[in-house]
Amino acid sequence: MSGIGRKFQNVLRDLGPLEAQGKVEGFFTNAENANKLGGLVEDIRDAMMEYQVSNHEPIISSTSG
């Protein structure tokens, strides 16, 4: 898996605990959640920028294990 693919996999992994909290109500009023989400948005932005200037290898391998 490429470095970009790993970055996206890490974002997906980090989104899991946030998703598990369920309801959106009150989510953004929790400063810790807002900080985590802000960091994930930055990670996504960085990975997308890196992908745009790369040789466009597959982002996520279908055979990852």
Taking the whole predicted model, whether its pTM rises above 0.75 is answered as no
Predicted local distance difference test score (pLDDT) of residue 63: 58
- The model's pLDDT over 11-63, given as tens digits with 9 standing for 90+, comes to 888 877 777 776 665 666 777 877 888 888 898 888 888 888 876 655 565 55
Predicted local distance difference test score (pLDDT) of residue 13: 85
Buried b vs exposed e over 28-65: b needs ≥16 C-beta within 10 Å? eeeeeeeeebeebeeeeeebeeebeeeeeeebeeeeee
Predicted local distance difference test score (pLDDT) of residue 34: 79
